[in-house]
């Protein structure tokens, strides 16, 4: 077999440069141009209708602001007439107080060490006043010191004109350290990922807006949580993927895989929440508070919506990775047959699946560590504990989300192989006008 192609003798030094020029030369033929146009039209025929349906769904399901008032009860979060103020601890005094249960305390005498804090009020009508607050024993064990900022519940009790002020500990003020961590996170992302990292953070901000102003109010108005979850998640993915990675065929490939995973997750979640009789009450006090604060809200459907939302991040991760893997493997071996290209990309996908399984499992194990400690302490049977309301929702959420995630990988890979074999040139992987430089390897 004789071939006069000049790039072949020297692949190590100029592989990407030669690949570009070789494919570019071939891409000038009418047949190649028609093939590329056909691939772009095929992707657009799939994505554009889905985008229109998503936009219409957001418009039709958008909350109108008159539902939540009819559904909420006339209550406050803490106590009727109570207000939350902030203060700074100036001094601490320890004393013995009765244990909260019938058993003996740590010293064997039925008492524990409690703390009385001297607090200077920073907010509220009585700012700068100094008060005393008894702190729960568990707060003392967790650690408290002078200079800590606290949130306190203030309740005035008694007849008008002679009210007595009572203060109770609510929580610590964590705004400054959490803001510092958030800033550090943003700086690290931007320094390492540069402009793409900045765009990803802005996309995350858009996701928050969709959650806060569309999905949560719509569910409180009584709109189907499944429809709201699918519509909101699809809108987030459309904007986040294209904004962070650009309008290219590989991004569109990842989007198709992500939407497929979302749809499959929603179907499985709908079946699983019904078959496993997930009531939504496994969250403890917060679930009962939500149920008592709304009229007729179906918590099982909220669980369903939560399963869909929980899979967004990892779905985005694996589909983008698979789309990139297909393109990178094609650039390294542009003449690789489609079957071998698919199998090579799937090897990467299988490694990703294995690591993702551990990521999901250990992330939940860390979050549910107190529950596991209680199970161990009371020696409940493992299977009984695993299928109890406290754990069943998280187990189902993890398993259903993982199934959707795993099946999205071969779908994304197959779509990527079909497209990359149709679009032969590296500079022609853009749906809109190309915006890549000749020396760039990445075109996400």
List all residues 6 or more positions away from 271 whose beta carbon is below 8 Å from its beta carbon: none
Q: Write down the pLDDT at residue 282.
A: 63
Spatial distance between the Cα atoms of 399 and 43, rounded to a whole number of angstroms: 30
C-alpha 345: how far from its chain's center?
26
User: Which residues of the chain fall below pLDDT 70?
Assistant: 1-36, 65-80, 99-110, 281-296, 423-444
β-bridge mates for residue 116, sequence order:
93, 134
359 C-beta neighbours (distance < 10 Å), count: 13
Task: Determine how β-strand 130-135 pairs with β-strand 149-157.
Answer: unpaired
Assess if CATH 2.40.50.140 describes domain 83-173: yes
Spatial distance between the Cα atoms of 255 and 57, rounded to a whole number of angstroms: 18
List all residues 6 or more positions away from 345 whose beta carbon is below 8 Å from its beta carbon: 322, 325, 326, 329, 413, 416, 417
CA 81-86-88 angle, to 5 degrees, is 145
Please list, residue by residue across 276-292, b when 16 or more beta carbons sit within 10 angstroms of its beta carbon and e when fewer do.
Answer: eebbbbbbeeebeebbe
* Total-model pTM: 0.73
Is-contact 27 36, C-beta < 8 A? Answer: yes
Q: HEC states along 275-336?
A: HCCCCCCCCCHHHHHHHHHECCCCHHHHHHHHHHHHCHHHHHHHHHHHHHHHHHHHHHCCCC
149 C-beta neighbours (distance < 10 Å), count: 15
Single out the residue of 247, 245, 244 nearest to residue 44, CA to CA: 247
Helix locations, 73-224, DSSP H = 137-142, 175-210, 216-220
Q: Write down the pLDDT at residue 85.
A: 92
List all residues 6 or more positions away from 322 whose beta carbon is below 8 Å from its beta carbon: 254, 257, 345, 348, 349, 352, 409, 412, 413, 416
What are the boundaries of each domain within the chain? Answer: 31-63+195-428, 83-173
**Residue 331 structure tokens:** 């650039």
CA distance to 13, 14, 18, 404, per residue, from 10 (Å): 6, 7, 9, 43
Locate tokens 């009860």: which residue? 73
What would the pLDDT profile of 45-92 be if each residue is shown by its tens digit? 889 999 999 999 999 999 986 544 444 444 455 666 788 899 999 999
Is-contact 311 245, C-beta < 8 A? Answer: no
């Amino acid at each position: 077999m004789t071939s006069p192609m000049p790039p072949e003798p020297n692949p190590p030094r100029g592989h990407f440069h030669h690949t570009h020029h070789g494919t570019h030369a071939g891409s000038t033929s009418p047949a190649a141009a028609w093939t590329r146009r056909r691939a772009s039209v095929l992707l657009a025929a799939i994505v554009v209708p889905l985008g229109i349906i998503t936009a219409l769904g957001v418009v039709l399901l958008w909350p109108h602001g008159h539902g939540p008032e009819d559904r909420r009860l006339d209550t406050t979060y803490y106590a009727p007439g109570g207000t939350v103020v902030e203060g700074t601890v100036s001094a601490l005094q320890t004393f013995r107080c009765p244990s909260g249960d019938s058993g003996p305390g740590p010293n064997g005498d039925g008492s524990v060490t409690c703390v009385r804090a001297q607090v200077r009020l920073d907010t509220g009508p009585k700012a700068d006043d100094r008060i005393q607050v008894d702190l729960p024993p568990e707060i003392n064990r967790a650690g408290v010191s002078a200079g800590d900022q606290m949130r306190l519940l203030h309740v005035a009790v008694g007849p008008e004109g002679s009210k007595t002020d009572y203060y109770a500990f609510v929580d610590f003020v964590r705004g400054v350290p959490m803001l510092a961590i958030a800033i550090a996170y943003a700086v690290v992302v931007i320094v390492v990922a540069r402009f793409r990292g900045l765009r990803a953070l802005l996309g995350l901000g858009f996701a928050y807006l969709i959650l806060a102003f569309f999905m949560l109010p719509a569910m409180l108005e009584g709109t189907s949580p499944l429809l709201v979850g699918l519509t909101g998640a699809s809108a987030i993915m459309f904007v986040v993927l294209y904004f962070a990675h650009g309008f290219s065929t590989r991004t569109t490939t990842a989007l198709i895989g992500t939407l497929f995973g979302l749809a499959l997750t929603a179907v499985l979640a709908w079946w699983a929440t019904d078959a496993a009789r997930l009531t939504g009450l496994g969250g403890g006090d917060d679930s009962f508070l939500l149920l008592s604060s709304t009229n007729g809200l179906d918590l099982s459907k909220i669980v369903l919506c939560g399963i869909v939302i929980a899979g967004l991040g990892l779905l985005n991760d694996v589909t983008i990775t698979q789309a990139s893997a297909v393109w990178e493997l094609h650039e390294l071996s542009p003449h690789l047959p489609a079957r071998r290209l698919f199998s090579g990309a799937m090897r990467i996908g299988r490694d990703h699946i294995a690591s993702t399984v551990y990521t999901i499992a250990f992330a939940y194990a860390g979050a549910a560590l107190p529950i596991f400690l209680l199970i161990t302490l009371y020696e409940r049977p493992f299977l009984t504990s695993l299928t109890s309301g406290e754990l069943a929702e998280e187990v189902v959420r993890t398993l259903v989300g993982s199934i959707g995630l795993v099946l999205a990988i071969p779908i994304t890979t197959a779509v990527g192989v079909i497209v990359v074999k149709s679009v032969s040139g590296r500079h022609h992987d853009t749906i809109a006008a190309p915006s890549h430089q000749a020396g760039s390897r990445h075109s996400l």
